[in-house]
Amino acid sequence: MSREDIQKIKKRLNFDKQAIIHIYRICKLLVTHEPDNEIFSKTVHNLLYAISKILEQEGVFSLLFVKSDIYLNKARIQQNITSFSASEYLIKLFISRNIGGFEFYVLPDSRELLLFFYSLIKYSPAEGVDAIKVFEDLLELSGIRNIRVLPTQAVEQVIPDEVQVLRDYKKKTLVIYQSTIRFLKDALSSKDYISGIDMRNAKRLVNQMVDLSGHNVENFSFWGLSAIKNFDEYTFNHSVNVCVLAIAFGNALGLPKRRLAELGLAALFHDIGKLTIPKKILNKPGQLTSEEWDIMKQHPLFAMKLLFNMHGYSESGLKKVIVALQHHMNYDFSGYPRLILEKKLHLFSRIVAIVDTFDAMTTDRVYQKALKPDDALRRIISLASKKYDPVLVKAFVSSIGLYPPGTLVELSDGSIAVVLKSNPQYENIERPIIKIINSPSERLKSDIINLAETQSLQIRKSLDPEEVGINTPHYLFNE
Ligand SMILES: [Fe+2]
Ligand SMILES: [Fe+2]
């Protein structure tokens, strides 16, 4: 795949979402700033650039807001993590104004574009009036000639049931994933986090994840949520990813729902002890000194104290305490904290030890570049019996697959694909279900292929998404 090809893919993929994110930023700023403020110039410039590229190719730029989706030139915009909240905001904004969307055929200038969004922000339709008519008059008054607003009834679309079910499922998983991150962030950022954590809320979110993890949805896997990484908010993102992975793994092991919920909750709080570790140690780019490492190794003990303070010695809180305390002890007890009496680690701790390492290894940090998922799995396999329970390692690899959902791969014919879902049989551990995103063969473009049923194609190797410039979670959560 040439550098130009990669550039082309990147550009084609991103203009629609870039436009949405820029419009979102402009609208948010217009709530507090006048449109002639300098603050807008860069974003408007970027928005006009994205729009001009779309206009160049398609001759029209129309955005329609339908239920919970946005359509650009009648094609639904496939959300990714970055555009997701922007889209939610804009959909609400347009719906609250009784306006279905807008379109233009000629590139507006920056003044026109800003005034259009400004009018939209400031406009609130009175009950019973023709919203479109009133808004059109308002645009006329502001001298906006090139942008046309579209009524809501023009955008009703018929979406087949099964597509809608899949779309709803993906959306639900994303919403719960993001709500859990937000929940943790709010709870743990407050000064008084010991009493600030609303455990009932945490349980509700984890129970919803457990419910979703039990669905078998075609070409989509709950495991895929953990492919979402966020460099800036590592602690929260990592905790939720470990929770997702633990639930998915527990599910594959056949644990009943009640135990999955306990496991998920314990996984969510496994690193809570890190709250007491100074940030300069947690985020240190280089190697830790031996004193710093000694402090870092205290986090399981800190967690135990924190959790006991939160719950007292209750039965329900105990699993969380055990997992937080044991998750770095290692299968052969060579880890930390050291024990005087070595007793077998709790099943939940052995599960969390594996998924914790897997998520940490596959995430970029200030001190390490992320490993590709299959390389992380190989590393974990090499440490089975020492750090990890060997039986569980085997079960983990066979359920997540050697190329876990979200892995970017190159196939034997040179195509580039993203792994959507693993196949449950052990003999197909290297043959998951994939979505082709670029192929020398025109015939295969954007196809979904089950490699277990297509012997002529194999995975040649995994690729680093950052090097290729491809945002893999995008493909897991689009159609
Ligand atoms: Fe930890
Ligand atoms: Fe961790």
Residue holding tokens 């991150």? 181
Distances (CA, A) of 296 to 285, 316, 354: 14, 27, 19
Distance in angstroms (rounded) separating the CA atoms of residues 265 and 246: 9
Tell how far CA 228 is from the center of its chain.
4
pLDDT classification of 424: cutoffs 50, 70, 90: confident
Residue 278 has φ and ψ, to the nearest 5°, of: -55, 140
pLDDT classification of 479: cutoffs 50, 70, 90: low
Nearest to 320 by CA among 389, 246, 253: 246
The per-residue pLDDT for 43 is: 92
CATH numbers and ranges of domains, the chain: 3-155 (no CATH), 161-400 (1.10.3210.10), 408-477 (no CATH)
Mean pLDDT (the chain) is 86
Distance in angstroms (rounded) separating the CA atoms of residues 321 and 311: 10
Compute the average pLDDT of residues 60-74.
83
Which of 10-24, 90-104, 235-249 comes out lowest in average pLDDT? 10-24
- How much distance in Å is there from the Cα of 287 to the middle of ligand 1? 17
What ligand is nearest to the CA atom of residue 242? 2
What ligand is nearest to the CA atom of residue 356? 2
Task: Count the residues in the chain.
Answer: 479
pLDDT classification of 216: cutoffs 50, 70, 90: confident
143-160 pLDDT per residue, tens: 888 888 888 764 445 345
- How much distance in Å is there from the Cα of 421 to the middle of ligand 2? 25
Q: Per-residue pLDDT for 130 more than 60?
A: yes
The per-residue pLDDT for 171 is: 82
- How much distance in Å is there from the Cα of 336 to the middle of ligand 1? 10
- How much distance in Å is there from the Cα of 265 to the middle of ligand 2? 14
Distance in angstroms (rounded) separating the CA atoms of residues 298 and 245: 24
The per-residue pLDDT for 131 is: 81
102-119 pLDDT per residue, tens: 988 888 999 999 999 999
Q: Which protein residues have their CB within 5 A of the ion that is ligand 2?
A: 271, 356
- How much distance in Å is there from the Cα of 450 to the middle of ligand 2? 33
- The enclosing H or E element of 90 equals helix 81-96
The per-residue pLDDT for 466 is: 86
- How much distance in Å is there from the Cα of 306 to the middle of ligand 2? 16
Q: Extract the tokens encoding 135.
A: 């808004």
The pTM (predicted TM-score) of the whole model is: 0.69
pLDDT classification of 444: cutoffs 50, 70, 90: low
Share above pLDDT 90 across residues of the chain, in percent, rounded to a whole number: 47
- How much distance in Å is there from the Cα of 271 to the middle of ligand 1? 5
Share above pLDDT 70 across residues of the chain, in percent, rounded to a whole number: 90
The per-residue pLDDT for 72 is: 84
Are the CB atoms for 397 and 453 separated by under 8 Å? no
**Stronger pLDDT, 273 or 285, i.e. the higher one:** 273
Are the CB atoms for 234 and 262 separated by under 8 Å? no
Distance in angstroms (rounded) separating the CA atoms of residues 222 and 80: 16
Compute the average pLDDT of residues 384-394.
96
Compute the average pLDDT of residues 461-469.
90
